[in-house]
Structures are given as structure tokens and as C-alpha cells.
Structure 1
């Protein structure tokens, strides 16, 4: 690493990152809430289903609808409530990724770069703003779960066992693909001595009990409404296409669609260090075997394809590949952070949210920005 980067003050990078993210997502709230009252598909669904308190509504779990229903009852059924819920969840996702990166990587520069890397994932930077709800919810819970897991590994007291159980339950109530994330993380923990000692400790029964209590009402609803509750399984297209190549091909396209821009920028900026990091088998953080997590995750996804899943979507990768930038920066380490590289990477990462904000404003706004017919009190109806 060059000496200029070593001497560069970076103690306050975390503060400026979180302040910038707060301003960024606040601007998104304002842009959407003062914009067109024409609702996207997922937004319209929330307006309809949140009129009732139920243990389940459709083929998706109910947690996002419950949260949105609370916001509607407090703020009124308008665009402000819709945009505030989504952007609060997105801010929390970036926050938990930063906290995890800082704990896992041990260097604030690596943590900031890893967190800003989320802007190079189109499903995070754009699709989550455009029209996603349940995927946004599960990504936030997965980010919180990853951070809680790191704290649990460091200090495994009863409170952390209870928190792990709560987050597992909330993850299942967010979107069912959280189970794949939990399985990969659990198997990665089982592959190391520290993880095995925690997962096989009798206290894990407290985690299981809390998770069961959280999931049980929805599980009973799914059992009694099986036709409606299992609709999401149809999206997997079991047995469709030419087995197993349809599933494997769809999986490759989904993963590449999710990571392509990030890989391209990382490769262009960090070059040889990046490619060496991708294929390292040793090194990285001692707290959690993150490289094993990704190998195990890949194995689980391939197994799903071999079992007959023939359709994967790139947005389903959100909770699964969210921490991929942490893996890359963990494997590269601070030696890759020359001044020129850091500046180039920051420039690209900071350009993307500006473009997203501008395009979102052009998409939902009727210029001038604050039109007399669209304002803070624009009501929403399900009709």
C-alpha cells in the first residue's frame, strides 16, 4: 500500500458514510412522496392487503405488510408512508452491512468501500427503489442477521441466542429464500470449531423456541391455506425446461445478472489483487469463514437446480449475495488500497446513487418538482 493512503486521515469515514446515506435515502423519500400517485405493482399490493390484519395474505410472507400497515395507520395511507417504510429498510440494510464490515474487516476504509459496493448491485441500487417490497424486507433482515451473528460469535450470551432466534423468525416472515441464507450461514458455522461450539450448545434451544413462536401463526395460516400460501413455489418452475440444464443456466444468469457490474468495476480498479482474492482458499477474517459461506451457498443453489428448480431470478439473490463485497475486501485486505485505487472506486460508487436519484426523480416526478396537484397529503386508494 502506498504511503499516501496510509497517512490519509480516515477516522471519520464511517461518520460521513452514514450521514451521506441518511441524506440520500431521505431525498428518495421526498422524491417519491412528492411524485406521481400512480403506484407500482408492489406498492398497489400493499395498499390493498394492509387493510386487514392477517397471518398471511398471498404467496409471500406477511412481515412487510404488517410494517406497512403500521405506517399507514400512523401517517395515513399516502405516498409518504409507502416511501418512508421502504427507504428506512434500505438505510438499515446499508447500516448493518457497514457495521458487519467494520467488525469483520477491522479497517474502516475496507468497511466503507465494501458498503458503498452495494450501489454497484443493480437490484440493490435501482430495483429495490423501483418496485420491490418483500425482497427489500428480507435483505434488511439478512443484513441484521449477519451482524447479529458476528456479535454472537464474539459474545455468545443468552441475549444473543434469543436475538438470533428472533431474526431467524423475522427472516422467514419476510421472504422464504431467507431459509437458503440461514442454511448456508449455519453450515459455514458448522465448518469451524467456534461455530460448532455455539450451534451445538444447549442454549440454541432458546433460539429455536423464539423462532418457533415468531413463525407459528404464519405457519398455521399456510397449513390451512395451502393453495394460497404455497403460490410462491410456482415461481421456481419445478420440473420445467430441460433438466438440469434449464435450472443451472437460469442460476448462472441470475448470479451474473446480480454481480456483473460489481465484478466489472472491481476487476477494472483492483485488477490482479481482485482476481487473486476471488480464488483464495485461505486467509480472510477469522471471526466467520465467509469464503466457506459462498462455496456452501453455491452448493445449495446447484442442489436446488438438481432437485428440479428450473427458474431463478436475480432479485432472489439479494439476501444471499448481499455480503459478497465483504468477502472480496476481506480476501484483498488493505494491501490493495492504494490512493489511486481508492479514489477511482469511490468515484464510481458515488456516481451511481446520484444517477439513480436523478433517474428516479425523472420517473416519478411531474416537473416542476412540487406540483400543486401532488403533495404531502396525496391520498392512496385501492380502487
Structure 2
């Protein structure tokens, strides 16, 4: 694809782009601009490489010192060109790159190489800096040196932590195989155990509950009947159950799902009458769209003349706590575990790991 054919496909890798840049770059002197064709190519490269980098890590787009410098340069170029950035979103950031004048694109193209040092881009750095004035070159090289120093420090830190990571990985393998790490979830034993636990541990169990499991319904029903059950724990079950079952009538459901519907109804009635006296924990496992779906179901059922026989607080009235549960246990896929940190603390006291795996005749967990 030639650079005059419009925006380059976003699926091209950064390496492919950089290879093409190196092939096309012809250094010029300070104050002189590359051809219009090359400017268009640079603009596409800068824009698409930034979009791809942000998409690759959506939970924390463009992190680190290199991207900090680059974002500062984009904002500086926008101010210099008197381009008002709409807001602080990444969409605005991407759009601004499309609007910048040619000399700004040349500087950003240089920054995209200078601030992201690799053995492969040293030649491109020198070529691209040849277009820029001495003050800009000096600033960019200072920033490159700062990034290199940070990378060296990070590499040293990773190297120093390698033995500890290796020990932790070995412990993790031992933990997953250790018979003392897993607790029984046989219905009767599970119920006896849950009655001795804290409301935070109840939350952990409900949060990862297997809604299709059979035989352990008494456990979750007991939790959700307790006044000390945190409101977020009850709401977690309530909203998840309502998403699947709220539009149904209990008499139309199979026994397993009818039990879940009836338990959802019990939670709804408990919530309505203020049964749950704790409200410390965050409702962290139900997203707003799932809660909104419940509200839509409520409105639809009321419009159809079949309202729920309970009424929980509406969207503007729901309040939950702010902290995460603090528990020594994990529950996942129907299996109950002692938490890794808790297991480590008790490992030496039990004499574990002296001659693993013969120390306890452990075998890998299923």
C-alpha cells in the first residue's frame, strides 16, 4: 500500500510500519520538511501506532514514561497550532493527531522513535532528528536518556526479583497440589463450615457461586437468610439471578431454576424489609448494565400487569459499601480453597514442603 492511498490498515504491526519508515526516510536539514507524501505516511504511522498501542492495553492505555512524554508533545503541538482539544479522552487525542500541521507531525514522528528506544530504531532516530532544530533535538535526546535509564533500572529490578519469583512460582505449584489447601464442599460439611465463617467469606462464596450446581443450595440459602449477610452479597445473587430468571414465572421453570427463582424472591423480600443490617462491601461483580437490565424487567412486568411481589430500592436509592471482602478463603468452580497467603503462613507450622511432594503424599489437584 502506498502512502497516498489513504489510511494504512490498523492491523499492520508496529514492526512492519517501522520497517517501512526506515526504508522511506531520507534525512533533510533543520527547518526543511519531507515531501507531502512522506508527511501523509508519517501522520498515518503516528496515528495508527498510537491507536494500536492504546487498544492493546485498554485497562491502562499508553502507560509509562515514554507515553507520558509523547502525550505531552501532542498537547504542546496542539496548543502551538491553536487546536482546541475537546476533552481528555483518547478519542480526542487520536483526532488531534489528524489535525496537526506537517512540522508537528515530523516532530511527533521523531518522538515516536526517540521516546521508545530499541536496538532496531537507532538509525531512524538520527534520520528523523535531522529535520528538527537543535533545542528540540536536545530535549528529545534528554528524554530518550531518561527512558533508557528507567529501562535499565527496571531490568535490574526484574533481575534482582527473579529468585523470589521463582520461589513463589514453586510455592504456587506446591499449593495447588497440597491436599491441605482444598476444603470439602460436600453439602453437609460445606454447610457446617459456612456457618462458622465471616460475612466477608460468605461474600467470597456467593461471588463465585456455581448457579448450575446441584446439592449445595442449602449453603447459599443459609447465607442469604442471615441478617449479618452483607447487602452487597445478597444483591450480587439477586441481580445475577434476575438477569436469567426475572422474566419467567416460577411454575414454568425446572426444579433447579425454580429454587433459584424462589431464593431470589426471598432476597427481594429480605431487602425490602431491611433484613440485611450490614452494608460494608462493594457490589463489585455486577456491572451497571446488569443492574439496569433488572430495572427494565421490573418496568416491563409492571406494564404487563405481573409485578414482582417485592419492591427493592430503585436506581437512585441503592447504596452499597466501599471495601473489598477480606477472607482467608477462595471459592471457584465449585471448589473451596484456603487462600494462597493463608496457606503459606500455615505451611511451616504443618511441616509442609520439607520433601514435597512426599511430605503429604500430595498429587496434583484436579
Q: TM-score, normalised by structure 2?
A: 0.26
TM-score relative to the length of structure 1: 0.25
